[in-house]
Amino acid sequence: MIEGLNPAWLLICGALLTPLLPRGIVRNGFMLALPVLGLIQLWGLPHGQYAQFELFNMTLITLRVDSLSFIFAVAFLIAAALAVVYAWHLDDDLQQVAGLFYPGAALGVVLAGDLMTLFIFWELAAISSVFLIWARRTERAYRAGLRYLLIQVGSGVLLLAGVIVHFRASGSITFEHLDLGSPGAPLIFLAFGIKAAFPLLHNWLQDAYPEATVTGTVVLSAFTTKMAIYALARGFAGVEILITIGVVMAMFPIFFAVIENDLRRVLAYSMNNQLGFMVVGIGIGTPLALDGAAAHAFADILFKALLFMSMGAVLLRTGTVKGSELGGLYKSMPLTAGLCMVGAASISAFPLFSAFATKSLILDAAAREGHWVAFLFLLFASAGVFHHAGIKIPYFAFFAHDSGIRCPEAPRNMLIAMGIAAVLCIGIGVFPEALYAILPYSVDFDPYTTTHVITQLQLLAWSALAFSVLVRSGIYPPELRSVNLDFDWAYRKLLPAVAVRVWDGLDRAWTCLTDTVERQVKAVIQFLSLHHGLHGQLAVTWPTGSMVLWAVLLLGACLVFYYV
Amino acid sequence: MTFPTSPTDQPEPKRWLDDSRNVDKIFYSLALVCTGLFLADLLYHKHTYFAFENWFGFFAWYGFLCCVALVLLAKQMRKWVKRDEDYYGD
């Protein structure tokens, strides 16, 4: 442990050194060592503030370890290590550098003690992460990456503007609880909201993540949205509007998830839905609810990574993750199928799996505070999660009708990464106390009460029954090769169409204007040539004659004025 | 795109799930489990925050109805939002 060393720099500097190392075991070992050393470093740092200095009258606190940042930092480092193992088979400098730089930047965000440091890491994370999308090296990925980058950097610009206004008004840039009504705070709230995928600001997530590389999506899934959840929990805990926002986030993506064909996009919708639960927890703002949001973010990072890893393995082996093309893969990839089902059980909150021990904190907090509408919607969303992520993902990829695809099992390093993630998911479910021990408010909570276990099993089993009945009766919508319009339609179709219209209109107006001016000028020329042209009235006399005429007229006018 | 079929020419061994009767067995087992869980409400005292949680089998039928509503609504939504795969032209 080195006093005051920010684990974020360990990852960022290490990432930049990676391409210099010989490929193979040396480089792979080095890449894994970075997050592991980061974790050791973080664990050894006593809670407190480090690396403070003054800059233009601002006090920068570049490293702050406390109970809230700690749990997020631990989750980030575990996710970074898992992603490294998952990508060991890769031979791509770009992804290897971005795959460590970006987690490092995200770590910098959660460990930042002031808003300026937060902004710098916020933008570093945005810029470094886009390379995981561009690394797919297709035109489609390039365009998706550009859209992603625009929105991410836009969030950073809003954040910077908010921070400047906040600093001018309060004279401090320390990142603590912010009053939503104070100057600059709404801008900061919006910046966080973009990255947390608030409704209508969400679509970058479903647009970009499924376009990233096999391993890139796994890395992306862990950090950006969760650092926004951290930032909201730090800055806007207890802001009531977050309950409504969170409920909408938990609800609307599940409808899209049911009809989406790209299974990685289904997972992106499902991530949006899980973020909704966390946002509700932050909005409730009690210690139990905030612990729930932090715990659920921790669990989500792991089970979502596991699910994205299993779909990544399918994409790697078969070349597609479209539900309409897949099916019956359990015959070829039984281990991946089993691990995927562990992830599915975890996200669905089955007893003994992680979300059972984490999501229940949020639901319990909502109930204790009497938010019965939010409670009912969150129950609906919980049933929906099981439906689209718990059943649909494994069912359409590995079971359903046999697509006839026969392929090898996932590479060994992928299986190891998925295996570790699966063990952690089950570990949190079976021994929740271990996770509860590092929660920010260390609330006392027992998820394994008879009521909770039985009601949860009722909800899940009957949701499964609904799925089976709907599939067997042919009512369930089949997986179709299609795209579904979401809010990205507004900036991918509507905005360009409006822009083209406006441009056409301007073009026509300009043509009209130039035509009119041309006509007028021609008329003037014609008029002049009529009187001054070759045969014009005023051109028949010599110029000297006409000059005398004008001089006489001018003098006459002077005379008249003089007398008047 | 063509996918490699079976690596050898020999027919694959038949899997347990390939037999539709076995799939039926899973379905009926699930129905049985669901019935059992529904009736479990008779056997214990629920600790709840809201009155509606105490309605008999609330979590069971609420979960079932939510999922049916979810699928039916999503199916209707398809009429509005479904487009060809190359709709965005990339």
Give the model confidence (pLDDT) of A372-388 as tens digits.
Answer: 999 999 999 999 999 88
- Distance separating alpha carbons of residues A342 and A338, to the nearest angstrom: 6
CA-nearest of A145, A4, A153 to A65 is: A4
One domain for residues A545 and A528? no
pLDDT at residue B10 in the model: 65
- Distance separating alpha carbons of residues A91 and A325, to the nearest angstrom: 28
One domain for residues A413 and A451? yes
CB of A374 within 8 Å of any CB in chain B?
A: no
B48, part of any domain: yes
One domain for residues A156 and A64? yes
pLDDT at residue A466 in the model: 94
Interchain CB distance below 8 Å, B71 and A459: no
- Could you tell me what percent of chain A has a pLDDT over 70? 99
Q: How confident is the model at residue A535 (pLDDT cuts 50, 70, 90)?
A: confident
Q: How confident is the model at residue B1 (pLDDT cuts 50, 70, 90)?
A: very low
Average pLDDT, chain A: 92
> How many CB atoms neighbour CB A416 within 10 A?
15
> How many CB atoms neighbour CB B3 within 10 A?
15
- Distance separating alpha carbons of residues A407 and A26, to the nearest angstrom: 30
Supply the DSSP string of B37-72, one letter for each residue.
HHHGGGTS----SSGGGGSTTHHHHHHHHHHHHHHH
Amino acid (1-letter code) at residue A559: L
Domain count along chain B: 1
Nearest by CB: A139 against B58, B74, B90: B90
- Distance separating alpha carbons of residues A326 and A324, to the nearest angstrom: 6
| A229: pLDDT strictly greater than 70 | yes
A188, part of any domain: no
- Distance separating alpha carbons of residues A181 and A188, to the nearest angstrom: 11
pLDDT at residue A377 in the model: 96
- Distance separating alpha carbons of residues A254 and A476, to the nearest angstrom: 15
One domain for residues A426 and A399? yes
pLDDT per residue over B40-57, tens digit each? Answer: 988 888 888 998 999 999
Average pLDDT, chain B: 85
In contact, B79 and A483? CB cutoff 8 Å: no
A455, part of any domain: yes
Residue ending a domain, choose from A138, A156, A172: A172
Q: Which has more confidence, A194 or A487? A: A194
- Could you tell me what percent of chain A has a pLDDT over 90? 80
Contacts with B, A 463-482, CB within 8 Å: 463-468, 470, 472, 475-477, 480-482
One domain for residues A462 and A495? no
Residues 6+ positions from A18 with CB-CB distance below 8 Å: A27, A30, A31, A93, A96, A97, A100
User: Could you give the dihedral angle defined by the CA atoms of residues A430, A436, A438 and A441, in that order, rounded to the nearest 10 degrees?
Assistant: 170
Interchain CB distance below 8 Å, B27 and A485: no
Nearest by CB: A463 against B18, B52, B63: B63
In contact, A348 and A386? CB cutoff 8 Å: yes
DSSP state of A212: S
pLDDT per residue over B2-32, tens digit each? Answer: 455 545 556 778 888 888 888 899 999 999 9
A226, part of any domain: no
**For A98-112, what is the mean pLDDT?**
96
Interchain CB distance below 8 Å, A467 and B67: yes
Residue in A380, A407, A462 to test binding to B, most B beta-carbons within 10 Å: A462
Q: Which residue of B has its CA nearest to A322?
A: B85
CB of B28 within 8 Å of any CB in chain A?
A: no
Report chain A residues whose CB lies below 8 A from the CB of B83: 482-485
Supply the DSSP string of A471-502, one letter for each residue.
HHTT-SPPP-S-EE--THHIIIIIHHHHHHHH
User: Could you give the dihedral angle defined by the CA atoms of residues A435, A437, A440 and A442, in that order, rounded to the nearest 10 degrees?
Assistant: 120
Which residue has tokens 């026969």?
A406
One domain for residues A5 and A83? yes
User: Could you give the dihedral angle defined by the CA atoms of residues A245, A248, A252 and A254, in that order, rounded to the nearest 10 degrees?
Assistant: 100
Question: Which tokens go with A444?
Answer: 């006392």
pLDDT at residue A435 in the model: 94
One domain for residues A439 and A561? no
One domain for residues A543 and A522? no
Helix (H, G, I), strand (E, B) or coil at A59: strand
Helix (H, G, I), strand (E, B) or coil at A238: coil
pLDDT per residue over A25-66, tens digit each? Answer: 999 999 999 999 999 999 998 888 888 888 888 888 989 999
User: Could you give the dihedral angle defined by the CA atoms of residues A394, A396, A401 and A406, in that order, rounded to the nearest 10 degrees?
Assistant: -70
One domain for residues A245 and A388? yes
Residue ending a domain, choose from A172, A193, A221: A172
Domain count along chain A: 4
One domain for residues A167 and A283? no
- Distance separating alpha carbons of residues A483 and A140, to the nearest angstrom: 14
Q: How confident is the model at residue A464 (pLDDT cuts 50, 70, 90)?
A: very high
Q: How confident is the model at residue A411 (pLDDT cuts 50, 70, 90)?
A: very high
- Which range marks the domain in which residue A561 is found? 536-564
- Which range marks the domain in which residue B76 is found? 17-81
One domain for residues A299 and A431? yes
One domain for residues A126 and A250? no
